[in-house]
Structure 1
Amino acid sequence: MVGFKNRYMVMEVFIDPNRELAVEDPIILTQFNVSKAIKDSILVNFGECGMASSLGSFQVKYVNPITKLCIIRASREEHQKVWSAITLVTSIGNCPVLFNLLDLSGCIRACKTAAMKCEESKFEQYRIVGRENLPVDVTQRMQNYVEKIKLLEN
């Protein structure tokens, strides 16, 4: 028996790239928000047939609203369609966004490794950019998100 072949994409989300850096983000990224935006983009750009073929194994596996990193799973046959739809997403809610692909892999283990490296460097950057005195709850939430990455499985 052969299992489903999937592709995993580690994506970085840039929220409203024209805004001031000091302003807080207008939305909180969640798996639901990201998934809905991608599904809407697939529907608009590829129609109902493209939507039906893409949703077989499509899933937003992980989203970190602190570092704006997410992991998305798509079937091997449809990952290019999903990737195309992701690049065509212009907003989540009413907030303009851009997606940047950081890593594309065929197994969850390689994806977890790439995501861990990105999380560490992005959180260090988050600390440096004027937020040295982070509240304890932000650091604790970040540790919880890192634990979620470690527990990811198919």
Structure 2
Amino acid sequence: MVRFKNRWLLVEFLPPSSTNTNSPPPELTGKHIYAALRQSVISHFGDVGWGAVGASLNVKYFSPTTALCIIRVAREPYRIAWGALTLLASIDGWTCIPNVIHVSGTIKHAQLAAIEHNRIVVARYRARAHTTAGYKDSYTDYLEQSTQELQSLRD
């Protein structure tokens, strides 16, 4: 039996300005990201690019709180998907800058990188709010919830 080999892209969608801390709209979902990525692949790499990427492209996880996303794509054409992500300008009208944080061969390593990245982002939010490290806030609940969601992902 032949195994289908994937690449997992961990992507953070940043607002265009560092002073603008707008998170993505709450109605933004993985389907919107998939549609925007599909359109980016088609417009920049044509039908051949979409033919290479389309069968394996899948958005496995998206968090509207931290704008973090895990995308699965086949191993051979993953650079096409990465290029299309880099050239993506907006998702469903929301202007963003995609930042590929991590690329891995297994979902487990993508999960671990996402959990670590969530902790870093929440630490930044807490630093901006000038809260102490032991302070319990909604971010604590979010970290627990997102960690459980990420660990429950399966290939």
Tell me if both proteins adopt one fold, taking TM over 0.5 as the criterion. Answer: yes
Q: Is 1:98 matched with 2:97?
A: yes
TM-score (norm 1): 0.86
Residue matched to 1:15:
15
Residue matched to 1:116:
115
Which whole-Å CA distance do the structure 2 matches of 1:94 and 1:131 have between them?
Answer: 32
Residue matched to 1:67:
66
Q: CA deviation at 1:99?
A: 0.8
State the Cα RMSD in Å. 2.1
Tell me whether 106-115 or 78-87 shows the greater mean CA deviation: 106-115
Structure 2 residue matching 1:85: 3-state secondary structure: helix
Which whole-Å CA distance do the structure 2 matches of 1:134 and 1:16 have between them?
Answer: 30
Change (3 A) 1:27 1:143: same
Q: CA deviation at 1:141?
A: 4.3
Residue matched to 2:6:
6
Tell me whether 125-134 or 68-77 shows the greater mean CA deviation: 125-134
Which whole-Å CA distance do the structure 2 matches of 1:145 and 1:81 have between them?
Answer: 28
Equivalences for residues 1-154 of structure 1 within 5 A = 1-17=1-17, 20-21=20-21, 24-25=22-23, 27-28=25-26, 29-130=28-129, 132=131, 136=138, 139-154=140-155
Q: CA deviation at 1:27?
A: 2.1
Q: CA deviation at 1:114?
A: 1.0
Percent identity between the aligned chains? 29
Q: CA deviation at 1:107?
A: 0.8
- C-alpha contact 1:127 1:134 (8 A) present in aligned 2: no
**CA displacement, residues 104-142 of structure 1 (integer Å, 9 cap, x when unaligned):** 111111111111111111122122222858864x64344
Which whole-Å CA distance do the structure 1 matches of 2:150 and 2:44 have between them?
Answer: 31
Change (3 A) 1:47 1:131: farther
Count of residue pairs brought into register by the alignment: 151
